[in-house]
Amino acid sequence: MRAVGDTLNTASVEFWFEFASTYSYLSAARIEDIATTAGVPVLWEPFLLGPIFAEQGWDDSPFNIYAAKGRYMWRDMERLCTKYCIPFTRPSRFPRNGLLAARIACLAKATSELWLPEFTRVVFQANLVFQANFAEDREIGDPAEIRSILDSLGQSGAQLVEQAQAPENKLRLREQSRRAKELGIFGAPSFVVGAELFWGNDRLEDALAWAGSRTGEARR
């Protein structure tokens, strides 16, 4: 018989994502179904890769800096989205600025808002899936766009966008990005299970299996 509170002893997976990361979109679309099947709780952890890339001397996405790698990534995304049955259209601009979306995600996380996963998926889709009702793929860096997404989720878009830009919330995102670096994260998506770091959408299943095999051990 399972005692009440058993799930507290299940190792969880921290899902570290960045809105400008195409491979993060794949994991955001896939993680809930797979984690639910595996019985592993997921913690959604927004952060910014920009400061980490800057320390490596990059002022742009490595997919823009290294042309062959970039060409490959777009074709790889097409194939993977077909394989996973996930909609995808190459955006007209890459990378888009995910700062405001990440701040909204931090605000949701800090206030335990249940709409964080859905908000995350909708922002990725706005950036990476051509919407029939829009003339172009959407500019997720635009506050009006983020407000509209929040409103469509039944939230108070205008109010949340304002709160997200308050000093204490800006600090939350800086703290997240600092913690990401401390955890050894150098790309997105990344998954953290206890002391183990897994990098890339390709490691999602391995990270969940690792967490599953640690169920019953104390959480870190």
Question: Shortest distance, CB of residue 183 to a second copy, whole angstroms?
Answer: 10
Question: Shortest distance, CB of residue 36 to a second copy, whole angstroms?
Answer: 23
Name 129's Cβ contacts closer than 8 Å, sequence gap at least 6.
87, 88, 89, 137
For a second copy, give the closer residue by CB, 39 or 184: 184
Question: Shortest distance, CB of residue 197 to a second copy, whole angstroms?
Answer: 6
Alpha carbon 213 to its chain's center: 24
Peptide linkage before 189 cis (omega within 30 of 0): yes
| Cα gap 151→147, rounded to integer Å | 6
The residue type of 198 is F
For a second copy, give the closer residue by CB, 71 or 220: 71
For a second copy, give the closer residue by CB, 20 or 185: 185
Do residues 46 and 214 touch, judged by C-beta distance below 8 A? no
For a second copy, give the closer residue by CB, 75 or 219: 75
Structure tokens at 74: 């777009």
Structure tokens at 41: 């709780």
For a second copy, give the closer residue by CB, 32 or 196: 196
Q: For the packed helices 167-182 and 99-110, what is the interaxial angle rounded to 10 degrees?
A: 90
Question: Shortest distance, CB of residue 44 to a second copy, whole angstroms?
Answer: 21
Residue numbers of the site for a second copy (CB under 8 A)? 56, 66, 68-69, 71-72, 75-76, 79, 83, 184-187, 196-200, 202-203, 206
Question: Shortest distance, CB of residue 194 to a second copy, whole angstroms?
Answer: 13
For a second copy, give the closer residue by CB, 1 or 68: 68
Kindly give the pairing relationship between strand 196-199 and strand 190-193: antiparallel
Structure tokens at 94: 């890459």
Question: Shortest distance, CB of residue 189 to a second copy, whole angstroms?
Answer: 14
Do residues 138 and 100 touch, judged by C-beta distance below 8 A? no
The residue type of 21 is S
